[in-house]
């Protein structure tokens, strides 16, 4: 059975993902910029949802080279996820040169001992993905979320096949980005065990909220129907 992880960034999305049959939740804030660390309140609520939850640990938008002060924030956020009772955390750190920052990752993994760890799509930015994968394996990372270095997983299907073959049984490779009922068929030839999607549908924001900068155009909300449809599509 292929597991479906659904990324959500608020309480409504959490409820919709669970109702639609998600096997695991990636809990975030601000999905429109790739996800940031969720609030302590949302973590506490998610811990009671009945589905394994992994919290995004990303202190800001932008790239993944973190200064010591930012890594300190990430360590505290990992402790908060642990205190909330979440199953795991999701993070990634790169050096200024863009390779996997093994010392920073080692510290974050040590802080996450006893929890599951996913290396997120910072992996898609490294110049040598084989070296990054080997490093993640040495660190004991559970899985890598990747689009195969492309804008979307369907567009990166050829690279994903290479990554999965290279990984073998050493680490789980979970395709993510741009996956929906309409696109999942492109990945049907891969040895999938897990996929990652947001399963969001467009929602309209009020004109005043938009004008005042409290909302933005193109907002999306997790849709239980889309979750259920993708879950069903994975039963090939």
The per-residue pLDDT for range 184-193, each reduced to its tens digit, is: 999 999 999 9
Give the C-alpha separation, 112 to 96, whole Å: 24
pLDDT at 201: 85
pLDDT at 48: 97
Place of tokens 């909220």: 209
CATH superfamily of 3-233: Copper homeostasis (CutC) domain (3.20.20.380)
Give the C-alpha separation, 205 to 217, whole Å: 7
Place of tokens 């080279």: 65
Give the C-alpha separation, 114 to 117, whole Å: 9
Q: What does pLDDT average to in each consecutive run of 10 residues of the chain (236 residues)? A: 97 98 98 96 98 98 98 98 98 98 98 98 98 98 98 98 98 98 96 97 71 67 96 90
The domain ranges of the chain are: 3-233
pLDDT at 220: 78
Q: What are residue 201's DSSP bridge partners? A: 221
Helix, strand, coil % in the chain, rounded to nearest 5: 40, 20, 40
* pTM as predicted: 0.94
pLDDT at 17: 98
Give the C-alpha separation, 236 to 232, whole Å: 8
């Amino acid at each position: 059975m292929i597991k479906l992880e659904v990324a959500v960034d608020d309480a409504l999305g959490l409820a919709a993902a669970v109702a639609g049959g998600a096997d695991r939740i990636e809990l975030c804030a601000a999905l429109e910029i790739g996800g940031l660390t969720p609030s302590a309140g949302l973590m506490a609520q998610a811990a009671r949802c009945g589905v394994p939850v992994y919290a995004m640990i990303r202190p800001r938008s932008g790239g993944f080279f973190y200064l010591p002060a930012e890594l300190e924030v990430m360590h505290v956020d990992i402790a908060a996820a642990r205190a909330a009772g979440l199953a795991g955390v999701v993070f990634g750190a790169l050096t200024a040169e863009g390779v996997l920052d093994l010392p920073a990752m080692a510290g974050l993994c040590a802080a996450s001992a006893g929890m599951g760890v996913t290396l997120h799509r910072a992996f898609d930015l490294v110049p040598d993905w084989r070296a990054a994968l080997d490093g993640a394996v040495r660190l004991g990372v559970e899985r890598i979320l990747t689009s195969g270095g492309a804008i979307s997983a369907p567009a990166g299907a050829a690279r994903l096949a290479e990554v999965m073959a290279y990984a073998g049984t050493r680490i789980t490779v979970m395709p993510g980005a741009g996956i929906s009922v309409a696109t999942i068929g492109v990945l049907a030839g891969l040895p999938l065990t897990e996929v990652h999607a947001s399963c969001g549908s467009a929602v309209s924001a009020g004109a005043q909220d938009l004008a005042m900068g409290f909302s933005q155009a193109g907002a999306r909300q997790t849709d239980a129907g889309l979750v259920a449809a993708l879950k069903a599509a994975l039963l090939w």
